[in-house]
Amino acid sequence: MHLDIITPDKKVFNGEATAVTLPGSEGQFQILNRHAPLVSTLGKGDVVVEVSGVKQTYTIDGGVVEVLNNKVLVLAEAVL
């Protein structure tokens, strides 16, 4: 799936990912390939991006995620 992590200042991540774990405002959840459409608010916490078995972690200060047509867009308030 294609993943974009964007803040008001810059694009933090742009590329393919096999899994994304997000800090939802009601708890942590994971997005996998071909996930159903979804829009959710995000709380402060870690976004864990898995690419070919390698995990990268970004700490965000809240935001919104949209999943549609195998594309994930994370609009983060800030990456800490």
Per the structure block, which two tokens stand in for 48? 């864990």
Burial per residue of 47-77, b for 16 or more beta-carbon CB atoms within 10 angstroms, e otherwise: bbbeeeeeeeebebeebebebeeeebebbbe
Per the CB < 8 A criterion, the answer to whether 12 and 28 are in contact is no
Does domain 2-76 sit in CATH 2.60.15.10? Answer: yes
pTM: 0.94
What is the domain partition of the chain in residue ranges? 2-76
- 40-66 pLDDT per residue, tens: 999 999 999 999 999 999 999 999 999
Only one residue has tokens 């709380």, namely 43
Closest-CA residue to 14 (of 2, 26, 22): 2
**Average pLDDT over every residue of 1-30:** 96
- 26-40 pLDDT per residue, tens: 999 999 999 999 999
